[in-house]
Structures are given as structure tokens and as C-alpha cells.
């Protein structure tokens, strides 16, 4: 048996302080608010893969907000697209 562990940093997820959510579903985290309480190791089954993207800016801000984007592992997105296409009904009455 093999166990895969990831070393990670936790962000403060207190709504309004360390996390912001906008209507279209955009989630942001404050990069300067790191949460030290939890264990730094997680199992692969406990997490989702995400990417943190900074906003482009010319001047440096005191609090840097990062946009959280969920990333699908390679090969998974193609499976999701083919499953959705197979579920669509064909309309031959045109």
C-alpha cells in the first residue's frame, strides 16, 4: 500500500476577512492571512486541486487577493465532456 501526502499552507477562510465570494461564483483568498492551526499534511482524497491567480497590478498593495480556480486533473475534463454529450437527446425531426 502507498499513501500520498501533500504539504500545504492553509488560508484564513473567515468570510469577509480572509475570503470573498462574488455573485458569478468567483472566490478570492487573502494571501497575507495564513492560518497556522491545522496540520500541514493532507491526503489526496481530502482535497481538490486549485490554482491561485493574482490580479495584475502596477503598484504593490498591502493585502494581496488571489482568485481561486478549480483545476481538473489531466484526462478528467475529457471524460466529463463526453458524458454530458452522451446524455443529450438527439432530435432528428428537422
Per-residue pLDDT averaged across 71-92, rounded? 60
d(C-alpha 71, C-alpha 48), whole Å? 8
The pLDDT confidence band at residue 9, using thresholds 50, 70 and 90, is confident
- Residue-wise pLDDT for 18-74, tens only, equals 888 887 888 888 888 887 777 778 887 888 888 888 887 767 776 788 888 888 776
Please, is 18 exposed, middle or buried when counting C-beta atoms within 10 Å of its C-beta (0-12, 13-18, 19+)? buried
- Residue-wise pLDDT for 40-53, tens only, equals 788 878 888 888 88
d(C-alpha 11, C-alpha 60), whole Å? 20
Domain boundaries, the chain: 5-87
The reported pLDDT for the residue numbered 90 is 54
Amino acid at each position: 500500500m502507498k499513501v500520498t501526502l501533500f504539504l500545504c499552507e492553509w488560508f484564513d477562510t473567515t468570510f469577509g476577512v480572509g475570503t470573498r465570494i462574488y455573485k458569478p461564483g468567483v472566490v478570492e483568498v487573502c494571501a497575507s492571512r495564513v492560518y497556522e492551526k491545522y496540520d500541514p499534511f493532507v491526503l489526496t482524497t481530502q482535497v481538490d486541486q486549485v490554482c491561485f491567480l493574482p490580479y495584475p497590478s502596477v503598484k504593490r498593495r498591502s493585502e494581496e487577493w488571489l482568485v481561486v480556480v478549480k483545476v481538473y486533473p489531466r484526462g478528467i475534463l475529457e471524460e466529463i465532456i463526453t458524458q454530458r454529450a452522451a446524455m443529450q437527446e438527439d432530435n432528428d425531426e428537422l
